[in-house]
Amino acid sequence: MNAQIIALLLSLACWLASPHTLVAHGQISGTILRDGTVTQNKNSASNQLPDLQAAAERALEQGEHREALSLYIQMCFADSSAACLQAAQLLDQKADLDPDPFAAIPLYTRACDLGADDACGAVKSAFAETESRCTNDDAKACMASAFLQLHNLTEVPYAPIAAAQRFEKACRLDSGPACTELGYLYATGLGVGKDLERAATAFAKACSPNNASDCVRIGEFYLHGRPVSMDVDRAADYFEAGCTFGDTFSCQKIGYAYLTGSFVDADMKRARVFLRRACDAGLVSTCNDIPKEG
């Protein structure tokens, strides 16, 4: 699945989820949603619905399934239930688009929200499947089940305690994104007793070589003091770890911090190292900001 589609799926998943969680469906390395991102996408898509629909139909006719999927997801942002459903069905029918059997769940969920009865039936069936697979130690299934139980649908009642249990199981199964969500729940007290020490433990497990993109997200939690207490030293540690593990946006974040002295002591040598990594990894906006030697 290409980066554009993954980013759109992540945005959609975040849009669908309750404010306290960013689910892992379609996660793209280093993607951090900022306030207004989804609104901007939605407004843009709303203005282009007829053109997007025509382009999606042409893409389907030509067998360009990835392009069609991207277009349908954009229309889904504009509250087109038919587009949400079409995108979900494409993901289900074309295994080459995403091998994750639960990737379509956020799309079915949004289509159901918008009144597509077929999608609601699919959500109910998907929940039963996720629960069954979670019982058999499928970490992705546990994550998908938790997502559905936090969304508060008629088909899947709101159950934060059960969702927390699913995240905890997935975390034990070494799902980094699940550990991040579990840490968030411990930090906020949703579905579990508020416990900042256990939140810190879950976050520490989440930031790993196989889940580098969550390091920057956790670093942001500590940098801004939400939902945990502000700790700029710990934030810097997470950004540096994420960069070491290969997350470009972590390199960018800590590189600019050393360049400007925003939450660490300014250090041009370290700024040079981290911004160079970000530049070499393709973040061209950082290339001109690398401090010169000497």
- The model's pLDDT over 144-171, given as tens digits with 9 standing for 90+, comes to 899 889 877 778 988 989 999 999 999 9
Predicted local confidence at residue 6, as pLDDT = 47
d(CA 179, CA 8): 23
Q: Return the C-alpha torsion angle 246, 252, 257, 262, nearest 10.
A: -130
Low-confidence residues in the chain, pLDDT < 50 = 1-8, 11-12, 14-40
Predicted local confidence at residue 209, as pLDDT = 93
Predicted local confidence at residue 21, as pLDDT = 33
Predicted local confidence at residue 200, as pLDDT = 93
216 neighbors 250 (Cβ within 8 angstroms): yes
Q: Return the C-alpha torsion angle 106, 109, 111, 113, nearest 10.
A: -130
Angle at the Cα of 224 from the Cα atoms of 10 and 163, rounded to 5 degrees: 45
Secondary structure element (H or E) that encloses residue 119, with its range: helix 117-135
Predicted local confidence at residue 227, as pLDDT = 87
Predicted local confidence at residue 281, as pLDDT = 93
Q: Phi/psi at 21 (nearest 5 deg)? A: -140, 145
Q: What is the pLDDT of residues 34-49, one digit of tens each?
A: 233 344 455 565 678 8
Provide the token pair at 265: 């002591």
Provide the token pair at 60: 């389907």
Domain 213-294 of CATH type 1.25.40.10? yes
Nearest to 277 by CA among 258, 250, 257: 250
- Identity (one letter) of the amino acid at 63? G
Query: What are the boundaries of each domain within the chain?
Result: 3-156, 213-294
